[in-house]
Amino acid sequence: MSHEPPTRGRDAQAHPDITPGLIAERILLSALREQDRAIAIDTARASAELLAAEAGTRLEHMQRRHQSQRLDAIGTLAGGVAHDFNNLLTVIGIHSAFLLDALGEEHPYHGDAEAIQAAGVSAAVLTSQLLAFSRRQILRPVDLDLNHAIAGARVLIENLLGARIALTVELAPDIAHVTADPTQVAAVINNLAVNARDAMRGAGTLLIQSRDTYLAEPACVGSDMMPAGAWVTLMLRDDGRGMTERVKERLFEPFFTTKEFGSGTGLGLATTYGIVRQSGGYINVESAPGQGSTFEVHLPAAPRATRAGPSGGS
């Protein structure tokens, strides 16, 4: 059995200058160090979270910019091809008309000349859609009341939706006018309504709204940056199947479609995007699988003074 004194007592003997006060001081210092460490860890964690958030925002901006540049690049290419194609189609159109005239209806090749002419006409429709996407269309902008444009398109939309899709139209009274081509605005409403119908697979609810929108500061809209100011908004909301992120990333690209072969060309939203951007506007899309889709088209509000009259110049 050992008669050694307990260790603590031996330390105290080895270090007679270690007083209870000093020990308390050391404990306090060590506690403070612990607290410092905890604060340092908290600070590091907060910084890391901040950095991650910043990196995420930067990545999102980069992706948006990339998407916008991609659409611009495709637009330039498509526009160039469509422009050259149009010149060729003019030749095909003129010469097939000559042929049809010269051959007469009884000629065995009359049908062939007709087929050439019909193909030329279909190709011209396609190239005009590509020109619309690449913002190289000839627009005829006028002072336009969006409410009138929606009211004008209503009967056509009701017909194309069918009886099992309920249409609700909510028009904000006395909204600002826009300066836009009425035919192209009608095409935008039509394209968005047809897509909504297809997404609802024959049954559901479509809401069409108009309203004034005031943006106090620039905002990200789709892949573009929408400047601050006064806008007029057209909104279509369906309760259809919605879209995945992958579809949302590509939906404005020409020829992008998820419809089965032969049912869609994938040019509806490409032309819509081109028309809206060429008119100085922006499109925003909110959608998730199974949760429907909301498309918002923002067109620049025309200054009130330029109005043609009390009922608008549509």
Ligand X SMILES: Nc1ncnc2c1ncn2[C@@H]1O[C@H](COP(=O)(O)OP(=O)(O)OP(=O)(O)O)[C@@H](O)[C@H]1O
Q: Which stretch binds Mg ion (CB under 5 A): 14-22, 187-195, 208-216, 303-311?
A: 187-195
CA distance linking residue 273 with residue 288, whole number of Å: 20
**Of 309, 302, 294, residue with least CA distance to 175:** 302
Q: Are strands 204-215 and 165-171 parallel, antiparallel or unpaired?
A: parallel
Among 196, 226, 232, 301, binds ligand X (CB under 6 A): 196
**284 is a contact residue toward ligand X (CB under 6 A):** no
What CA–CA distances, in Å, run from 30 to 21, 34, 86, 249? 14, 6, 82, 54
From the list Mg ion, ligand X, none, which binds 265 (C-beta under 5 to 8 Å, kind-based)?
ligand X
- What is the C-alpha radius of gyration for the chain, rounded to an integer number of angstroms? 33
CA distance linking residue 195 with residue 186, whole number of Å: 14
CA distance linking residue 144 with residue 179, whole number of Å: 6
**264 is a contact residue toward ligand X (CB under 6 A):** yes
The conformation of residue 302, written as its DSSP 8-state character, comes to P
Q: Which stretch binds ligand X (CB under 6 A): 36-44, 166-174, 241-249, 299-307?
A: 241-249
* Residue 58, CB-side half-sphere exposure with 13 Å CA sphere: 6
**258 is a contact residue toward ligand X (CB under 6 A):** yes
**293 is a contact residue toward ligand X (CB under 6 A):** yes
Query: Nearer Cβ to ligand X, position 213 or 258?
Result: 258
Query: Nearer Cβ to ligand X, position 191 or 314?
Result: 191
In three-state secondary structure terms, 160 is: helix
CA distance linking residue 233 with residue 248, whole number of Å: 20
CA distance linking residue 133 with residue 271, whole number of Å: 4
**145 is a contact residue toward ligand X (CB under 6 A):** no
Among 181, 224, 238, 296, binds ligand X (CB under 6 A): 238
Which tokens belong to 147?
């409410």
What's the min distance (Å) between Cβ of 60 and ligand X? Answer: 21
Q: Which stretch binds Mg ion (CB under 5 A): 15-23, 52-60, 66-74, 264-272?
A: 264-272
**209 is a contact residue toward ligand X (CB under 6 A):** no
Query: Nearer Cβ to ligand X, position 189 or 196?
Result: 196
Residues in contact with ligand X by the rule CB under 6 A: 191, 195-196, 199, 238, 240-243, 247, 251, 256-259, 264-270, 293
Residues in contact with Mg ion by the rule CB under 5 A: 195, 268
